[in-house]
Amino acid sequence: MKIEVVVDVKTTLGEGPLWDVEQQRLYWIDAAGMRVFRATHDGREIRAWDVPSRVGSIAIRKDGKGAICSLAKGFHALDFGTGECPLVAEIETARPTNWINDGKVDRRGRFFAGTMDSQETGPYGALYRLDPDFTVTQMETGIIVSNGPCWSPDGDIFYFADSWSGEIWAYDYDQETGSVSNRRTFTKIDTSRGGAADGSTVDAEGFLWNAQVYDGKLVRYAPDGSVDRVIDMPVKKVTSVMFGGPNLDILYVTSMAKPPLPRFPGDGVLRGSLFAIHGLGIKGVPEPRFAG
């Protein structure tokens, strides 16, 4: 196994690595820096787009010419050609201190993203589903920090975490309707160490990978929720993970250069880097595009 820095652009809050199989390009974001990045699997041909507010996650659209972005107060459509990023669906206008955080697309092309309390103290966030026709449905409430949405390889199990609950949850997922049910605890994380569940992905074997922010660890969980493997990263503030590359066997890891609140720890010179882990002997699954 080898861990290397692919791109060092010192993202203030690097997040959301996303490998697009059709384009053979890696996307990621700087949430606080309000930018969307794209590069080849080895960090070349870097391109960046500015967006009008804090960005929590993105999904490539079906034509590949743009992305749906979960920005601070709604979903926006970023045009890769013009750079324009108009609002398509506004949410939570009555909660000015909330913003939208992590998001992913299900096997049918629906985009799930959740909100969070900007001070990370109260259960004021929720989970939303954006359908291809841009209608929005609230799926879950009472969330402090929404993180880690992803699906099992067959699409029948939905995983999601409230970072400061100390739990990653599993739900039964109805792919026909896009509904969730039967929430249960998939695994528990010891937040007393200072770490918490951040971004997740699922590999081709059905194991879930989670970036444990502030603890500097990547944890691979078996389908029964037991710990299969732990990887110590060279920075503490790892934020999310995604398999990519030509063979879907490179694990990309984002990190943050600056913690969002003073109570969180700092890091060394590699803070904010985009990392790649080679030689795991494990492959990911292709991420779907948003169907709208």
198 belongs to an annotated ligand binding site? yes
Domains parsed from the chain with CATH numbers = 2-278 (2.120.10.30)
For the chain, the distance separating the N- and C-terminal CA atoms, rounded to the nearest angstrom, is: 38
147 belongs to an annotated ligand binding site? yes
pLDDT category at 121 given cuts 50, 70, 90 is: confident
What values do phi and psi take at 167, rounded to 5?
Answer: -135, 145
101 belongs to an annotated ligand binding site? yes
Among all residues, which ones are annotated catalytic? 198
Report how many helices (DSSP H) and strands (DSSP E) the chain contains, helices first. 0, 24
Q: What mean pLDDT, rounded, does the chain reach?
A: 95
Are 243 and 273 a contacting pair, CB within 8 Å? Answer: no
Q: For residues 246 and 110, what is the distance between their CA atoms, to the nearest angstrom?
A: 25
Q: What percent of the chain has pLDDT over 90?
A: 88
pLDDT per position as a tens digit, 256-269: 998 777 677 778 89
Res 262: pLDDT: 67
The answer, yes or no, to whether residue 118 has pLDDT greater than 90, is: no
Q: How far is CA 217 from CA 105, 193, 231, in A?
A: 25, 12, 6
210 belongs to an annotated ligand binding site? no
